Amino acid sequence: MTTHGFHPAAALARQRGQSTVAFLALGVALALGLVLAAWIVAASVERIKLAGDKITVKGYAEEKVVSDAGTWRAIVSVRAPDLPAAYRKLADDSARVVKYVESVAVADAANLQQGSVNTQTVYEFGPGGVQTGRVLGYELSRQFEFSSRNVAQIGSIATGASRLISEGVAINAMPPQYIFTDLNAVKVRLIGAATRDSLLRAQQFAANSGVTVGPLRSASQGVFQITSPNSTETADYGSYDTSTVEKLVKAVVTVEYAVTRK
């Protein structure tokens, strides 16, 4: 028998409706909480990311220099059956070399240096390359070195040295070497120029990427390449060409800049 005014089905329905509303409210609250948390995390990540943003670029600079010093080297050798004869021949040929250098470099002839005499005994070799112990003669040699700040003079000596061969002098002349003595000052200028070039490169990149270049964070200097004017030669440890009077000094720096979003 049902009590007057009380309907179990209606009460159950009202209870279920209240539970549904409560669950919906809880779901909405949780959803809002997750969205808010995600926004906070995203904002934090963005701030961290911006604080850590950077750009790394390479800067390049080059400068042409003209050598202001040079060196010419040569070796004179003689061979004779006996030691006194070999020494006399070497002395005569050495005198011819000195006379030749004096004729070209009148004012700087004193810069010619003569090395000590090197002596080598020449032995006979029999069948099968076995040394017999018999002395065939002696070979004597001496090195000459001439250095000057007159680069044109170095070139003239090197060019004309072959005429000594026509006089019977067995001379082996090496190619002249040309250097630039104030290279350190050039390196300092190039580092500055290469760093400025790196900033321009960074700014150009930033202009196309929606960021602004900030302060310099770090910089490292690469090796210097000193080459002939039209050379593309490079070396991991740097290069220094001494074969040409004119040279091109090249510098590369790697620079890291901070960047921020616009």
User: Is the distance from CB of 254 to CB of 58 less than 8 angstroms?
Assistant: yes
pTM for this model (two decimals): 0.73
d(CA 96, CA 107): 18
d(CA 81, CA 42): 93
Helix (H, G, I), strand (E, B) or coil at 106: coil
d(CA 222, CA 199): 16
d(CA 175, CA 155): 9
d(CA 114, CA 7): 130
d(CA 124, CA 134): 5
Q: Please list the pLDDT of the chain residue by residue as tens digits (262 residues).
A: 444 444 544 444 455 555 554 444 445 444 544 444 444 334 333 333 334 588 899 999 999 999 999 999 999 999 999 999 999 999 999 999 999 999 998 888 889 999 999 999 999 888 887 788 889 999 999 999 999 999 999 999 999 999 999 999 999 999 999 999 999 999 999 999 999 999 999 998 888 777 888 888 899 999 999 999 988 888 888 899 999 999 999 999 999 999 887 7
Counting every residue written for the chain, the total comes to: 262
